[in-house]
Structure 1
Amino acid sequence: MARTRSGHAQRVDPSLAATRRRPRSVIPTLADPITDYPTADKVPKTALFADGSRHEYRLEMIAILFKFVCERHAIQQRRLAGLAPPWTRDEWLQNYPFTNVFRVLDRNSQFILLRVIGDSPDNIQDAVFRVLLFRMFNKIETWELLEQHLGKITFQGFDTRAYCRIFETAGVTLYNAAYIIPAPKLGYNSNYENHLRLIEAMMNDGDLTGDLLQCKHIRDAHVRLLRWPSMGNFTAMQILLDLNMLSYFNWSEDEWVELGPGSKSCLRKIFPNLNVSAHAQEALRYLRDHQWSWYSTVGATQDQIPRLSAERPRGLSMVDIEHSLCECEKYSRGKLQHIPGPRTHVGKRRFAPRAGAPPTADVPAHWLAVRAPEDLPCPPPVEGKDVYEVECIVDEDRARYKVRWLGWGPEGDTWEPKEQVADGSPVLVDRWEESKQKVAESLQSRMRTATAKPKRKMAQRSSSLLTRAGRRLTL
């Protein structure tokens, strides 16, 4: 896979650390919202969202968010340049670990990009399989354990029994504590075997790869992935962001994002009266669209505004803002202790730089191309009147399908009664139901191969497993 190195990276040979004195960081000072806005929390401020709704916000909390993203990204840039610590004067950023502003620059994401994807055979099945396998465990050491025993990991060579034998005798923790994906209840004795069987179902007759290739937007892919057991809203989003580093997918990360619990908590701190369930996406769009004025508010120069690489424009996408909101919520527990939240401790452990190779800052090559606007041709009018034609079904609930209209993007999606859609677009309904049926049958076939259990209990478990969000997948 072609990869592009960030223009800011400068590798330092660790063996020279003891003999060569590295330059000290030159750390500019940004405005401090606490001292610059001592009464900000007492002055109501109102934000006008794009949907026309108005919401009060805490000025100092928004200022803290954008000061945080500037300083956290500056720390990463100073580390890449080989500067000696401390990389910041901020005591909270010095003493506690926070992820990067750009998710792709985090350690696990870089490992996925360079090792899981970068070393993958040049075909989509292997690439998707390897990403799913890594993310189920989300632990670099587990991936390296498999490579030690199996060599290059491929879908063609995937043997669940061989993998299980490796894990049975490993004697180490296989799972990372972050972004845990619960094991599906497919009837096996160990979590890892249930996870492996789930991957097997996804990659074989479940045809997850084919389903995702049909999706033009990440929110549509999110719905497809949620059909599978153990996929929570947030963890499914993380898997899709990993898959989006593959050249086979190129979903926009600036039109919609699923929020995690930390991001939602931070939004409530910023907009104290916000109904997050109803207005989270509009809140993110507001922060994205107005970020430039907030950079100015905290005293950031143009060069201090975060930038993923020299080939990309400065500023944050919706995915970047969601990622940063989660970390800023932790940061605000120390910096703005008077603002209430569900947790008060900044972190469980102190920050200590990892020994060994310096951090990397690679980005997927296909991210550097300018994204062409989506071509949305509308059907021609009939007798001078506009024609509305359903292009595809993108979601459902008990009584309705969510439909995408020909010539419109996701912002034009509407919920329509199932009977009405079935009458007008029976082929699309059949296609949608068939894709659900593939998932159900694939899971059922894996459950039949599980350790023998009483048939009644297995049937009950199957019925429970294949019911999701009020929608029963008919077997």
Structure 2
Amino acid sequence: MIKPTEIYDLYWYFAAERQRIFYNRLSEQHNNLTEDSILKTYRFTNAYRASDRVSQFLIRHVIYSGDQSSQEVFFRTILFRFFNRISTWESLSTALNHEINYANYNFRLYDEIFTSIINGKNKLYSAAYIMPSGIREFGFSKKHQNNLKLLELMMQDNVPERVAEAKSLKNVFNTLKSYPTLGDFLAYQYTIDLAYSNLDCGLESDFIVAGPGALRGIKKCFSEVDNLSPPDVIRYVTERQQHEFSIRNIDFPDLYGRSLQLIDCQNLFCEIDKYARVYCPELAVGGRTRIKQKYSINPTTIKLFYPPKWNFNHKIPEKHLN
């Protein structure tokens, strides 16, 4: 029998309030985003993973910009996520005259470009989705060199073609996870990124892997989960979302008619773990008692673009689409 805690109520409140903040930002209500003091102070991801700034850049400027062959889409997507930093992609693109593609890939050239970014005292990697150094597996002294060699290995093994024919997220995940330095978390995140593309990777509702933050969030939301595995708990929550919002009288402003998917509910468990550190620090799990990143208002107009196969880009106000 599943036994929820008070944090489970917060889970649904948080999902709705974070999504309202998203729409308030679209309406440019920068001074009236939320009355929640925790959400005002600290940085949290969106309720929908695909709405986050870096995911939006990935979808619009990486996945759907350029050659749509499986080889090139895979190459661009994985290369971007290895670094997961918009400024790194833009610097690389500028150095290559906006031609980032596998057809013209050259290890020495890419190494020189990334090294020059480092020498300019700029960061190559984001703090999210941290890639292992790969020094032991590939033998190069610099992390980016080993990451490039990993990508080369995947390309040489025809992984793009295998992904394009996988037809299920689990098959894609297992393929990616079989490569050095890619554990469960990164392999699954990259799987979801590839599922945004036109490749036949399967549906987001097919398969879920719980990351470390989600595991902590699940522990805070439930005192007992019977014999359910973490993926089972996430699926249970995802399938009950309409009921859970309804019984709490929460009006959830979904994403242009799209309900929360498994990956979104997984992420929300991670975010509620962070939120609860401030809301009730006595429930600390894994020794984490604070939130590192503070929220700061970004007044720039949000531009949105979602995978065309989701069929709702036409619902986005033109101001935020172009």
TM-score scaled by length of structure 2: 0.89
**1:322 aligns to 2:266 (yes or no):** yes
Could you say which residue in structure 1 is the equivalent of 2:56? Answer: 110
Residue 359 of structure 1 aligns to a residue in which SS? coil
- Give 1:273 deviation, angstroms: 3.5
Q: Is the 8 A contact 1:55 1:271 kept in 2?
A: yes
The letter of the residue matching 1:177 is A
Residues 268/162 of structure 1: CA separation in 2 closer, same or farther (3 Å cut): same
Q: Which residues of structure 2 form unaligned runs of 5+?
A: 313-322
Could you say which residue in structure 2 is the equivalent of 1:267? Answer: 218
Q: Deviations over 1:315-335 (max 9, x none)?
A: 322111001110111111222
Residue 56 of structure 1 aligns to a residue in which SS? strand
Residues 255/122 of structure 1: CA separation in 2 closer, same or farther (3 Å cut): closer
Query: Which runs of at least 4 in structure 1 moved beyond 4 Å after TM superposition?
Result: none
2-side partners of 1:165 and 1:77: how far apart?
Answer: 41
**1:337 aligns to 2:281 (yes or no):** yes
User: Which residues of 2 match residues 3-42 of structure 1 at below 5 A?
Assistant: none
Residues 275/208 of structure 1: CA separation in 2 closer, same or farther (3 Å cut): farther
Could you say which residue in structure 1 is the equivalent of 2:316? Answer: none
Match for residue 143 of structure 1 among 62, 70, 89:
89
The letter of the residue matching 2:268 is S
Could you say which residue in structure 1 is the equivalent of 2:42? Answer: 96
1-side partners of 2:166 and 2:68: how far apart?
Answer: 21
**1:242 aligns to 2:189 (yes or no):** no
Q: Which residues of structure 1 form unaligned runs of 5+?
A: 1-53, 370-475
Larger radius of gyration between Structure 1 and Structure 2? 1
Match for residue 160 of structure 1 among 82, 92, 107:
107
2-side partners of 1:348 and 1:218: how far apart?
Answer: 32
Could you say which residue in structure 2 is the equivalent of 1:420? Answer: none
Could you say which residue in structure 2 is the equivalent of 1:349? Answer: 293
Could you say which residue in structure 2 is the equivalent of 1:218? Answer: 169
Match for residue 160 of structure 2 among 206, 209, 212:
209
Q: Give aligned pairs, total.
A: 306
- Give 1:104 deviation, angstroms: 0.5
Residue 283 of structure 2 aligns to a residue in which SS? coil
2-side partners of 1:306 and 1:318: how far apart?
Answer: 17
Q: Is the 8 A contact 1:243 1:249 kept in 2?
A: no
Q: Is the 8 A contact 1:65 1:328 kept in 2?
A: yes
Could you say which residue in structure 1 is the equivalent of 2:72? Answer: 126
Q: Percent identity?
A: 28
- Give 1:279 deviation, angstroms: 1.4
2-side partners of 1:145 and 1:350: how far apart?
Answer: 26
Match for residue 235 of structure 2 among 281, 285, 289:
285
1-side partners of 2:296 and 2:18: how far apart?
Answer: 15
Could you say which residue in structure 2 is the equivalent of 1:68? Answer: 14
TM-score scaled by length of structure 1: 0.62
Match for residue 179 of structure 1 among 121, 129, 138:
129
> Which protein is richer in strand relative to its size?
1
**1:232 aligns to 2:232 (yes or no):** no
Residue 2 of structure 2 aligns to a residue in which SS? strand
The letter of the residue matching 1:228 is Y
1-side partners of 2:166 and 2:245: how far apart?
Answer: 35
Q: Is the 8 A contact 1:306 1:316 kept in 2?
A: no
2-side partners of 1:272 and 1:94: how far apart?
Answer: 29
1-side partners of 2:17 and 2:114: how far apart?
Answer: 41
- Give 1:348 deviation, angstroms: 1.7
Q: Is the 8 A contact 1:69 1:306 kept in 2?
A: no
Q: Is the 8 A contact 1:331 1:346 kept in 2?
A: no
Q: Deviations over 1:125-165 (max 9, x none)?
A: 11110111111111111111111111221111100100111
> Which protein is richer in helix relative to its size?
2
Structure number with greater CO (CA < 8 Å, separation at least 6) is 2
Could you say which residue in structure 1 is the equivalent of 2:315? Answer: none
The letter of the residue matching 1:359 is I
2-side partners of 1:127 and 1:211: how far apart?
Answer: 13
Could you say which residue in structure 2 is the equivalent of 1:199? Answer: 151
Q: Deviations over 1:240-264 (max 9, x none)?
A: 1111111123521123211111101
Could you say which residue in structure 2 is the equivalent of 1:359? Answer: 302
